[in-house]
């Protein structure tokens, strides 16, 4: 009996006791192993673990899915279409940390393996023709657009999406790293990474949500893209590093609806590595910032580097695509680009003359354009959240 009590005491000491020199033995928390699939119909918490993401997993309205920090989710394209969808009225709480991010990746480390994270909210949109609703282009064919600007779809902090951007049919079934449909300003989007996807890194389809500390690295289409009257007001610290294949650093449009509101973002760095090609040989889209279809915005403290023309008529710091956008947004003072530092980008402005001839230059913007040699761009803190297989995503910031 004494030996039994002694054994119990020794075990208790290993797990809870303290030695005289305070050299505690703390057991390492082991990840659980599991699979997440089907509809999430009841609120639940996924413990720290390594999970297989199988199928289009949908968080249903009224349901909250919480994911513990450090968890990893892996999709396998051979299983079909995989993704994580937050339906309108559902909530996703995925709060990692700088050293314990939540990672969504793919079995095969190549662009276009899965559908990424898709989130629906209840905030307003302005779609084609000025209507307040539209149908999603993610193949789910869901209506989006609401009336609650401050709505929350949850919280994403220190979340990394890798190898997403699965595309079936352009504009009718395509996926980004992160897709935000009518997401409201009550949603937290902070310290997010979209890495080597086959489409856009981040795309906002209307709504009022804002993103802070965003990294779009090596995505094959646009680094940051939005439409449907997106109007996030508190965006800061965006870093795009385009390498391999890429189109625009920022593609900005508003479905041809001339509007009196616009998004605001500060501390932006857009860099394009030498030798980076375009997604299509026939449509050479590689400007740092492109405005079209009445797109606008207020942007400041911007660093642009590496958007050199490799063919006449393509490649610039700022492109204005069409005459209506030039007249209604540039000349009308609804596009603001201030404190801009530009290097390795010989052509500042480019006009594609869609809808009629025009020439865009610094004078077109008036006081809404200013260059600087001291702009700093994005400011981001290194950590495991921004490091993939030994690659420091912030090395070129």
Instruction: Give per-residue pLDDT as tens, 43-98.
Output: 999 999 999 999 999 999 999 999 999 999 999 999 999 999 999 999 999 999 99
The predicted pLDDT at position 274 comes to 93
The predicted pLDDT at position 17 comes to 38
Cα torsion 278, 279, 282, 283: sign: negative
Sorting pLDDT into bands at 50, 70 and 90, what band is 174? confident
**pLDDT tens digits, residue range 208-234?**
999 999 999 999 999 999 999 999 999
Question: How many Cβ atoms sit within 10 Å of the Cβ of residue 133?
Answer: 14
Could you tell me the end-to-end alpha-carbon distance of the chain, in angstroms, rounded to an integer? 65
Q: Flag whether pLDDT at 11 surpasses 90.
A: no
Q: Flag whether pLDDT at 385 surpasses 90.
A: yes
Of 98, 84, 73, 92, residue with least CA distance to 155: 92
Exposure of 190 by Cβ count < 10 A (0-12 exposed, 13-18 middle, 19+ buried)?
Answer: middle
Sorting pLDDT into bands at 50, 70 and 90, what band is 137? very high
Q: Coil, strand or helix: which one is 293? A: coil
Q: Flag whether pLDDT at 325 surpasses 80.
A: yes
Q: Coil, strand or helix: which one is 4? A: helix
Q: Flag whether pLDDT at 8 surpasses 80.
A: no
Cα torsion 373, 326, 250, 59: sign: positive
Sorting pLDDT into bands at 50, 70 and 90, what band is 312? confident
Q: Flag whether pLDDT at 107 surpasses 60.
A: yes
Q: Coil, strand or helix: which one is 306? A: coil
Name the region of 112 (left: φ>0; alpha: ψ -120 to 50; beta: rest): left
Q: Are 259 and 294 in contact (CB under 8 A)?
A: yes
Give phi and psi for 5, each to the nearest 5: -60, -35
Helices (DSSP H) in the chain: which residue ranges?
A: 2-16, 323-325, 362-365
* Contact partners, residue 79, CB within 8 Å, separation at least 6: 54, 55
Sorting pLDDT into bands at 50, 70 and 90, what band is 168? confident
Rounded alpha-carbon distances, angstroms, from residue 355 to 41, 327, 334 = 49, 11, 19
**pLDDT tens digits, residue range 285-307?**
789 999 999 999 999 999 999 99
- The fraction of the chain above a pLDDT of 90, given in percent, is 85
Mean pLDDT of the chain, nearest integer:
92
DSSP string covering 6-39, please? HHHHHHHHHHH---TT-----PPPPPEEEEEEEE
* Contact partners, residue 249, CB within 8 Å, separation at least 6: 222, 223, 224, 240, 242, 270, 272, 287, 288, 289, 304, 307
Q: Flag whether pLDDT at 20 surpasses 70.
A: no
The predicted pLDDT at position 353 comes to 83
Distance CA 231, CA 227 (A): 10
Q: Flag whether pLDDT at 189 surpasses 80.
A: yes
153-174 CB burial, b ≥16 within 10 A, e <16: bbbbbbbbbbbbbbbeeeeebb
- Rounded to a whole number of angstroms, the CA Rg of the chain reads 23
The predicted pLDDT at position 38 comes to 97
């Amino acid at each position: 009996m004494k030996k039994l009590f002694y054994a119990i005491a020794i075990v208790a000491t290993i797990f809870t006791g303290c030695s005289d020199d305070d050299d505690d033995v703390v057991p390492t928390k082991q990840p659980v192993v599991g699979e997440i699939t089907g509809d999430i119909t009841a609120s639940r918490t996924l413990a720290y673990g390594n999970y297989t993401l199988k199928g289009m997993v949908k968080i249903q309205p009224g349901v909250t899915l919480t994911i513990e920090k450090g968890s990893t989710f892996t999709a396998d394209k051979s299983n079909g279409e995989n993704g994580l969808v937050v339906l309108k009225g559902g909530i996703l709480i995925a709060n990692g940390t700088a050293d314990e991010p939540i990672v969504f990746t793919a079995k095969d480390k190549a662009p276009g393996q899965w559908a990424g994270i898709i989130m629906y909210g209840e905030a307003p949109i302005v779609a084609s023709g000025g209507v307040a609703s539209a149908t999603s282009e993610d193949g789910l064919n869901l209506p989006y657009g609401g009336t609650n600007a401050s709505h929350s779809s949850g919280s994403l902090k220190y979340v990394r999406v890798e190898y997403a951007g699965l595309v079936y049919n352009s504009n009718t079934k395509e996926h980004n790293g992160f897709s935000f449909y009518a997401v409201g300003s009550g949603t937290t989007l902070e310290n997010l990474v979209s890495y080597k996807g086959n489409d856009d890194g981040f795309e906002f389809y209307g709504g009022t949500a804002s993103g802070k500390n965003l990294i779009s690295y090596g995505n094959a289409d646009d680094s940051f893209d939005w439409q449907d009257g997106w109007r996030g007001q508190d965006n800061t610290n965006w870093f795009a590093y385009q390498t391999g294949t890429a189109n625009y650093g920022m593609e900005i449009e508003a479905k041809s609806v001339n509007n009196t509101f616009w998004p605001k973002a500060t501390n932006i760095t857009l860099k394009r590595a030498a030798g980076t090609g375009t997604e299509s040989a026939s449509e050479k889209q590689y400007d740092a910032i492109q405005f079209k279809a009445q797109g606008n915005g207020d942007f400041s403290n911007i660093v642009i580097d590496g958007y050199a023309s490799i063919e006449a008529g393509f490649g610039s710091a700022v492109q204005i695509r069409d005459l209506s956008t030039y007249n209604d947004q540039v000349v009308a003072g609804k596009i603001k680009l201030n404190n801009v530092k530009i290097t390795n980008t010989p052509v500042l402005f480019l006009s594609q003359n869609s809808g009629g001839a025009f020439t865009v230059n610094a004078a077109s913007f008036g006081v809404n354009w200013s260059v600087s040699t001291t702009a700093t761009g994005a400011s981001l803190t290194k950590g495991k959240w921004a490091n993939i297989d030994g690659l420091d995503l912030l090395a070129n910031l």
